[in-house]
Amino acid sequence: MNRQPLRLAILEATRILEQAGVASARNDAELIAAHVLGIDRGRLPLTPLVDPPVVESMRRVVEQRAKRVPLQHLTGWAALGDITVDVGAGVFVPRPETELLLEWGLKLLKGREYPVVVDLCTGSGALALAVAHARPDAVVYAVDNDPTALAWARHNADARATAGDTPVRLYSGDVTDPTVFAELDGLVDLVLCNPPYVPEGTDVSREVADHDPPQAVFAPGGGLAVIRHVVGMAARLLKPGGGVAMEHDDTHGGAVPELLRARKVLSDVADHQDLAGRARFATALRG
């Protein structure tokens, strides 16, 4: 059996993905190679030659990716913070830009013992579970209104608890319901939220249009309908000195801070950019 250079297989995969319009072609080709080989991406240079069945397996996965199936659906996981969560059909795939929101939240919790954290619109559970992993002393609550998302979140929460993380408390509920987490009013250190926020009718990539659940992506009211409820919920949940961080559309850099400022109990409102320099998430503290 003639072994083949892995480097050439990755170059060929990159070429196919570039032709298909995949923005991160080289990155995806390397991650597909690592997935097929069952190794970390950083170990690819230590595998110069591969057997033909490996090249064939890579080709099959690359074909799917070229049809714009999300990479995370093909590998079965997505990373956030220092953990990975399983993802697939019916659940929103965590994005790299959410790392910045997580970082802001963990920084706010520094020096606080046994903080109470709430993750709204939890989806796969990634944000809640990343916080629970980084802060074993935290009491972390998470909520979603979608049964499919909650099934994924439950699966991921069980896996993280088995791995030794402090279990999160997972609930079915809707952020538009003023009674959700009423027992936590005024007791929460940190509210995190990556809500549906893309204005309806916005052109999105095929990966999002064909594979992300639309109710986790799009929101009416110019993309602000759910965010309005999240702002109100954060205002009632936070204790003095507590903080909220929520992701938003890159067109919301003015609108979301304005909604936060409109709440008298919230102060220190700021908007933050992602790594590409786009307005991406807003934060505020409870006065």
The catalytic site residues sit at 92, 194-195
Report whether 144 belongs to an annotated binding site.
yes
Residue 195 assigned to a binding site = yes
d(CA 158, CA 150): 12
Angle at 125 between CA 244 and CA 21, to 5 degrees: 95
Place of tokens 């009416």: 220
Report CA-CA distances (Å) from 139 to 25, 37, 144, 232.
Answer: 39, 38, 17, 22
- Are the CB atoms for 126 and 96 separated by under 8 Å? no
Does 197 appear as a known binding residue? yes
* Phi, psi torsion values for 9, nearest 5 degrees: -65, -40
- Sequence-ordered list of residues with C-beta below 8 angstroms from that of 76, at least 6 positions apart, any chain: 86, 87, 88
Binding-site residues from annotation for S-adenosyl-L-methionine: 144, 194
Provide the annotated binding site.
Answer: 144, 194-197
Q: Binding site for substrate, residues?
A: 194-197
